[in-house]
Chain A
Amino acid sequence: MGKQPTDKKNWGRSYGEMVWKEFAKSKLSIASLVFIVFLFFLAIFAPFLANDKPFMIKINGQWNYPLFRSLTASDYAVFLAAAFAVFQLLLIRRNKKYIEPSIRGQVLGRQVFVNSLIVVIGTVLFFVMVPRRLDATDYKEMIVSGSAEGAVFAPIPYGYGRTDLKIREQPPSREHWLGTDDVGSDVLCRLIHGSRISLSVGFVAVGLSVLIGVFVGAVLGYFGGKVDFVGMRIVEIFMAIPPLLLMITVVAFFGRGLFLIMMVIGLITWTSNARFVRAEFFKLRQQDFVQSAVSLGLPLRSILFRHMLPNGIAPVLVNATFGIAGAIFYEAALSFLGFGVAPPTPSWGQILSLGVSTSGRFLWWLTLFPGLAIFLTALAYNLVGEGLRDAVDPRLRKAA
């Protein structure tokens, strides 16, 4: 850096720090954040928490590690991403101590970029290198029959796709803490693995919608005039489409893949982001720093995304938090209606849909637990979003 670092004692507080301080004032927001972190913990370590394969098993005097052998490329990718997310958080703590607030944003951006690049490359590598392994050996049977001497199982020793018709539709018991579903799979196990689907749908769909929304909104807001007029009419056309109906139509005709569902949710919900960004850019383009950037002859890309966007992104990030809750709801609704991911991939909405059997019998454990999971997750995201909104926009807070 060309600048001489000033004395640490004279460092002011960065924007991030201020927002965090405001956010942390509310206990409810912090509690919600803790809950979301807990959910992420469940989702990341799902294969270790609920798995029908043992961590280790002794067969013929030799220890085997079936659980680790059965981890898939996506498992490894999730671990990698989680590790780098934690690493990034530690970096942010470190930045606070050693890097001057005025350039901290820039440094942070670079760190995030490098880290996500590593995660993306790592994910691709995992998918190329880690083969899909199928292992349906019944290890529990081995213990019972005595062909294995000892084993260490996961806390919930069931697989989410394992079926056993003999124990179908059983209420919670010692063996199955949250009961079993229509083909005898363990509900708790399916809930834990289902958290991965719900969280990833939330993030990918919202990521896509933010990407599209920011791009469209930035262009409309910066240029204004005729571009804005035509563009906003197109945005309004998109807003007029009932999202759930369009989703059902698309999924019905193109098959039921997780990726497709994420794409569709993202492609439908970007309009609100576009409007937020447009409004911010309308405000910003009059300001001196933008005018000077224009007069310096900077390229449009640089003006829009390097100079204006960081100043106008806050409301979008807040909106995205609500968007995640919405996307989780949409996925659950689709699954509930029978248009979600194909079985046996677990999804909360799909478990919920089994709660009323065709004969009208009410299976409470298939309704209560996934319903609670969806409700709490959506609530937590909404509370975090609310906390963030108050922290970002002090005017709103005062008004409230």
Chain B
Amino acid sequence: MNGREGIFKYFVLAVLVVIIVLQIASIKRADRLNDKLAEFIEAVENKQFGTAAIKQESEKKAADLPMPARIGDDGDWLVWCLRGEPHTLNTITVASDTYSNYVCLGNVFERLLEYDPDEVKLKPWLAESYEVSEDGLEMVIKLRDDIHFSDGVSITADDVIFTFETIMDPNIDAASLRNYYKNFKQAIKIDERTVKFVFDEVFWKTFEVVGLFEVYPKHIYDYNDPEEFNTRRSDPVGSGPYVFEKWDVAQQIVLKRNENYWGHKPKIKKLVFRIVNNDVAALQSLQSNQIDLLIPSPEQYYDFQSDEEFKKRFHCLKYWNPGVPFFFIGWNQQREFFKDRRVRLAMTHIVDRETIAKLLLKGNAEVVTGPFYPYGRQHNPDIKPWPYDIKKAKQLLDEAGWVDSDGDGIRDKDGVSFKFKFAYSSGRPIYEQIAKLLKDEGEKVGIEVQADPYEWSVFIERLNTRQFDSVTLGFGGTVESDPYQMFHSSQIEGRGNNFIGFNNPEADKLIEIARRELDEDKRYALYHEFERLLHEEQPYTFLFTRPSFRFIDKRFDNIVIHKLGLDEKEWYVPKSKQRYK
């Protein structure tokens, strides 16, 4: 019995060993196959479309390419830090997701026109030239003849029209984007390289809208069922200098350089977007060299800009550009409290914006008086912000009829006490601090404020359904913004962006006239007047805006601050300092 059992044991052991050996061997084999496959794919990608021929052609045309020649050494990666996971990498179906724009815009997808980063004017990019008719109702775009997508297929008028029609398709989830296309009538193909856009009415922003849409390849994105397009969230394909490599959910998105790019190729080989949600963790990964570029909070910037050790390793940049956000407190004018202009004005007087900018944001912020970029031409420089003045606030509230008639310390009118809720999205310390300050200051003038924090998605839902008394939020800026969405009375109904219900006929009129005014100087004069009106009416209490901050690894060179900000496509890393192969 014993002997037999022993033999059986040895037999089992032998089988196990054989199985393990076979397993290892098959793993090795798969690895080798993979390596070969990767080599093969790389070879195909580089050769299939006749890189040599394309190269020759682009050298010939190099002189009139829209971007400057790229200087410096080839190689290395740039590792970004994304503070949240993009919902989708499809820039058409995305609502207002900055993260996917960081990844795709200008890297994977390109646009017909681009802003010149120094002159802040539109210049041709994928387009060779563009022409606007005298009455402003037609725009003719002529495409370059040397442009092609990353897979080698050249870009034609069909792609432009496909992109336009996709955006206009009501079944595509692009409602917020479609807002800008309301006055578009149609896009007509004139020949292979020429497209004519026709509009219903004149609107200055139209030309920017045409210029700034990303051209999608029709042969890849074409769909029968709109759901097909809506659910295509990953694997973007465009004409840009980088192509999509992989998306590891909750970890990173990787783009690699488009070796077939039609223009001057950037020097950096790979863009990696690491997803780090937490403020402190992001800073730590920067310091441990896991990321190269971080957008710090104002407080982080303040703390590290004076740190000599840190400055030796990183560029600490602080610069103004039109993309900077402005923050505000919105007063819901559907509520009895905030219908009266004097009450809103009083509320502005109890917010000590100077001190908030100086102490809470450590001097890295500026008080604003309107929704426009404070260093742009749209902003009216004659308006001075209302001061912090408790006495004046009390006086205004008295005038508006809100007095404490029952001796409980809280102002009231017609039997209603002045108690309101202050909604904000939880998680950002600055909003919470503003809530605490507003509550304290409110008590000083006899108003009871109740902080009302919500998780972001619930918060947005309450905003869209108007279930709030007051709210604080930040909006991103653009080179020139149109206040129609935020302040025109037609945007109150439904889920428009005028969620505070600001309804002022004079403001409506100014917005409408300015939209149709194509002459810049006259238009800016109208916007100055509009800003003056906002200043008097205070539908928002405009808080502050702040410059952009960046911490960038010192090994990157040729970092230039343009009027429009940074352009990482002109950066490079000297050969000796390169970190990644």
Contact = CB atoms under 8 A, between A and B. Distances in A.
Interface in A348-392: 356-361
A133 B452 contact: no
Interface in B419-446: 426-427, 429, 432-433, 435-437, 439-440, 443-444, 446
Interface string A117-161: 000000000000001111110000000000000000000000001
A182 interface: yes
Contact of A338 (B304, B427, B451): B427
A200 interface: no
Q: How large is the interface on B (under 10, 10 to 19, 20 to 34, 35 or more residues)?
A: 35 or more
Chain A CB within 10 Å, residue with most, of B284, B300, B448: B300
Given A252-B458, A256-B453, A358 B409 contact: no
A359 B433 contact: no
Given A132-B410, A133-B408, A183-B436, A359 B304 contact: yes
Interface in B54-69: none
A339 interface: yes
Contact of A359 (B300, B432, B451): B300
Contact of B451 (A132, A162, A344, A356): A344
Contacts of B408: 131-134
Nearest to A361: B303
Given A161-B436, A165-B355, A134 B410 contact: yes
Contacts of A183: 360, 433, 436-437
B302 A256 contact: no
B359 interface: yes
A342 interface: yes
A161 B443 contact: yes
Interface string B249-281: 000000000000000000000000000000110
A115 interface: no
A5 interface: no
A252 B457 CA distance: 9
Chain A CB within 10 Å, residue with most, of B296, B304, B436: B436
Interface string A313-346: 0000000000000000000000000110011100
A342 B410 contact: no
A168 B359 contact: yes
Interface in B335-393: 352, 355-356, 359-360
A256 B433 contact: no
A182 B433 contact: yes
Contacts of A360: 279-280, 283-284, 300, 303
A229 interface: no
Contacts of A132: 408, 410, 448
Contacts of B453: 256, 338, 342-343
A337 to B, nearest CB: 9
A394 interface: no
B230 interface: no
B436 A343 contact: yes
B450 interface: yes
A163 B440 CA distance: 6
A252 B409 contact: no
A255 B427 contact: no
A344 B439 contact: yes
A185 B433 CA distance: 11
A134 B446 contact: yes
A253 interface: yes
Nearest to B432: A343
Contacts of A358: 279-280, 297, 299-300, 429
Contact of A356 (B280, B297, B302): B280
B367 to A, nearest CB: 15
Contacts of A398: none
Contacts of A27: none
Contacts of A342: 435, 450-453
B300 A161 contact: no
B441 to A, nearest CB: 8
A339 B439 CA distance: 19
Contact of A165 (B359, B410, B455): B359
Given A253-B455, A339-B426, A357-B299, A161 B410 contact: no
A136 B409 CA distance: 8
Given A163-B436, A183-B436, A359 B429 contact: no
Interface string B308-335: 0000000000000000000000000000
Contacts of B448: 132, 134
B40 interface: no
Chain B CB within 10 Å, residue with most, of A136, A168, A252, A358: A358
A49 B303 CA distance: 36
A94 interface: no
Chain A CB within 10 Å, residue with most, of B303, B304, B408, B432: B432
A226 interface: no
A166 interface: yes
Nearest to B359: A165
B223 interface: no
B426 A338 contact: yes
Interface in A54-112: none
B280 A252 contact: no
Contacts of A161: 436, 439-440, 443
Contacts of B446: 134, 136
Contacts of A339: 426
A166 B352 CA distance: 12
B475 interface: no
A375 to B, nearest CB: 23
Contacts of A136: 409, 440, 443-444, 446
A166 B360 CA distance: 9
A77 B355 CA distance: 39
Nearest to B442: A136
A253 B451 CA distance: 16
A163 B437 contact: yes
Contacts of B300: 358-360
Nearest to B297: A358
A74 to B, nearest CB: 15
B454 interface: yes
A165 B361 CA distance: 11
Interface string B222-249: 0000000000000000000000000000
A344 B437 CA distance: 9
A398 B458 CA distance: 55
B517 to A, nearest CB: 42
Nearest to B450: A342
Nearest to B303: A359
B527 to A, nearest CB: 33
A134 B409 contact: yes
A140 to B, nearest CB: 14
A343 B435 contact: yes
A165 B458 contact: no
Nearest to A70: B409
Contacts of B302: 359
B283 A344 contact: no
A282 B445 CA distance: 63
Nearest to B406: A131
A133 B437 CA distance: 19
A168 B451 CA distance: 20
B356 A134 contact: no
Contacts of B297: 358-359
Interface string A210-251: 000000000000000000000000000000000000000000
Nearest to A353: B429
Given A339-B426, A343-B436, A359-B297, 17 more contacts: A131-B408, A132-B408, A132-B410, A136-B409, A136-B446, A163-B436, A165-B355, A165-B359, A168-B360, A183-B437, A343-B451, A343-B453, A344-B435, A344-B436, A358-B279, A358-B429, A359-B280
8 contacts: A134-B448, A161-B443, A357-B299, A358-B299, A358-B429, A359-B296, A359-B297, A359-B302
Q: Please give me the 6 A-B residue pairs with the lowest Cβ-Cβ distance, nearest first.
A: A134-B409, A252-B455, A136-B443, A359-B300, A359-B303, A165-B359
